[in-house]
Amino acid sequence: MSNEHSMRRVTAIRNGTVIDHIPSGQALRVLEMLGIGGKSSVPVSLVMNVPSKKMGAKDIIKVEDRELTQTELDRLALVAPDAHVAIIRAYSVAEKLTINLGSEVSNVVRCTFSNCITTNMREPLPHRLKVISRDPLHIRCHYCGRPQDLDELIKNVL
Amino acid sequence: MAGLITMDDLTNEQIINILDDATRLLPVAKGELYLPLLQGRILGNLFFEPSTRTRMSFETAMKRLGGEVVNLGDVKNSSVVKGETLFDTIQMVDGYTDIIAMRHPRQGAAQYAQDSARVPIMNGGDGAGHHPTQTMLDLFTIRQAHGTLEGLRVVLAGDLRYGRTVHSLSHALTRFGCELIFASPDILKMPSEIVSDLREHGANVVETNDLLGSINDADVVYMTRIQKERFADEDEYTRCAGAYKLHADHLGDVKSEMIIMHPLPRVDEIHASVDSTRHACYFNQAFNGVVARMALICYLLGVTVPADVESEGGAF
């Protein structure tokens, strides 16, 4: 099944952001990382587990009337490091953005270990997580060295 | 300036160089020779939780080399209780001192302090995290007894779950190709992520509940204290802890050069009858905390330990 066919499952948006090539089944996590939940006022379309030539299966999210910022992209890098982001203006792709998961994720999420020094919210240094490996994703806190579980980490988005 | 937060901050070659420096500094540590290599330098001792040996040995190490020490003192009387952040405390002490030794109840505090400071931080224990200066003195003690760190058979016994000392030491011994035998009750086993990490780094690890069955082939038996509060009830504690006690009677068939180590304080996991055997090494180990830290402070401050300490040093 073609990518074009899968995109037709939801209508084109006039203005906003399309996040494509999200790993299959990760779309809800992506929304959580972006802070887009049920209380969000912007229309959001979401398709999950659609066939993809490149990935086998993938998820797609379309957020209307909202353009993702770099900080939001940084958050996305943890759950969908190879996603493609397109900013849509007047039904056309105005910008294509690429997400790169670097060797460190700074001030995006807080370490999940309850006895880490960074749990004192008054401490001013940035929250830093080291990316040890991308596939499988293996992340450790820069300070306490504890491995981070992604499901727990999502609850600690700053 | 870089400090020592975990043993990963040192290469094997750097470890050996520091241990060589420590060996040459022994007469200074014993007070037989005066060698003021650190005259004019100030150590800040920041112990946010209780410590006897680590704090005192840092202080002794600095003073034996002619340096000075300032102490945070009791945390209850410091600005920490007023809510001062670690970052702010470090900013202040960083300005007062040339190097800082720190123990803190929160894991990651030492790295956090290093990222906040210009002077080197020496991690004297951060929560259940790392205790690399203890590892340095342990390595010094093992090498002093066996002449090498390579390829030894080391039994680590007791509380392997919560003991940061044995975590750091296991990693370091793996780097020197030692065989590790972890002897502990099931509920105090070495955390599985550490065991798999060690195996990934090529360690030969054996896990057992049988301490006494493991000691006869060992070059080193490293005992730790089993704490009563780790157990659900006193009966379970008595039953488990009883199997992790060494008595002189147990040492009949051990290797003659085998050493018994303990980070101290001990309670009753090493019976007093062991103290007078040739295997007892724990008090010497505690003394070595001074000389290992002397060498480490010199290394971190870029102070060269002379090749011939005897001729450079003076009599008192």
| Euclidean distance between CA atoms B302 and B296, whole angstroms | 10
Are A43 and A15 contacting, i.e. CB atoms less than 8 angstroms apart? no
Q: What does the pLDDT look like over A27-69, one tens digit per residue?
A: 988 888 888 876 777 899 999 999 988 889 999 999 999 998 8
Hey, what domains does chain A have and what are their CATH numbers? 3-98 (3.30.70.140), 104-156 (2.30.30.20)
Instruction: For residue B34, give the DSSP letter.
Output: B
Q: What is the pLDDT of residue A8?
A: 62
Are B10 and B20 contacting, i.e. CB atoms less than 8 angstroms apart? no
B131 is catalytic: yes
CATH fold for domain B133-285: Rossmann fold (3.40.50)
* Subunit contact B104:A117, Cβ cutoff 8 A: yes
Distance of CA B190 to the CA centre of its chain: 18
Asked if the C-beta of B193 comes within 8 angstroms of chain A's C-beta atoms, the answer is: yes
Strand partners of residue A105:
A129
Helix segments in B201-260, DSSP class H:
234-241
CB burial readout B117-135, b (16+ within 10 A) else e: bebbbbbbbbbbbbbbbbb
Give the confidence band of B34 by pLDDT, cuts at 50, 70, 90. very high
Q: What is the pLDDT of residue A42?
A: 85
* Subunit contact A145:B6, Cβ cutoff 8 A: yes
Instruction: For residue B43, give the DSSP letter.
Output: E
Tell me if domain B7-130+288-312 and domain B133-285 are identical in fold: yes
Which residue type, as a one-letter code, is found at position B295?
Answer: A
Domain B7-130+288-312 superfamily per CATH: Aspartate/ornithine carbamoyltransferase (3.40.50.1370)
The string of DSSP codes covering chain A is: --HHHHHTTS---SSEEEEEEEETT-HHHHHHHHT--TT--S-EEEEEEEEETTTEEEEEEEEET----HHHHHHHHHH-TT-EEEEEETTEEEEEEE----SEEESSB----TTBGGGSTT--SPPEEEEEETTTTEEEETTT--B--HHHHGGGB-
Find the CB nearest A115 among B107, B111, B115.
B107
For A38, the token pair is 């049920």
Domain ranges of chain B: 7-130+288-312, 133-285
| Residue ranges with strand state E in B164-297 | 179-183, 204-208, 220-223, 259-261
For B256, the token pair is 């003659």
- From chain B, the residues in CB contact with A146 under 8 A are 107
Distant-in-sequence contacts of B280-284, Cβ < 8 A, 24+ apart: B281/B141, B281/B145, B282/B223, B284/B141, B284/B144
Give the confidence band of B133 by pLDDT, cuts at 50, 70, 90. very high
Q: What is the pLDDT of residue A1?
A: 44
Q: Do you find a cis peptide bond into A136, omega within 30 degrees of 0?
A: yes
Q: What does the pLDDT look like over B57-113, one tens digit per residue?
A: 999 999 999 999 999 877 777 777 778 999 999 999 999 999 999 999 999 999 999
* Subunit contact A115:B86, Cβ cutoff 8 A: no
Tally of CA atoms within 13 A in the half-sphere of A44 that contains its CB: 20
Residues (pLDDT < 70) of chain A are 1-9, 38
Q: What does the pLDDT look like over B157-185, one tens digit per residue?
A: 999 988 889 999 999 999 999 999 999 99
* Subunit contact A120:B106, Cβ cutoff 8 A: yes
ipTM above 0.95, yes or no: no
The string of DSSP codes covering B194-206 is: HHHHHHHTT-EEE
Asked if the C-beta of A116 comes within 8 angstroms of chain B's C-beta atoms, the answer is: yes
When comparing pLDDT for B257 and A30, which is higher?
Answer: B257
Asked if the C-beta of A126 comes within 8 angstroms of chain B's C-beta atoms, the answer is: no
Q: What does the pLDDT look like over B43-54, one tens digit per residue?
A: 999 999 888 889
Answer yes or no: is pLDDT of B241 > 90. Answer: no
User: What's the rounded mean pLDDT across residues B257-266?
Assistant: 95
Asked if the C-beta of A95 comes within 8 angstroms of chain B's C-beta atoms, the answer is: no
Q: What is the pLDDT of residue B18?
A: 98
Are B186 and B239 contacting, i.e. CB atoms less than 8 angstroms apart? no
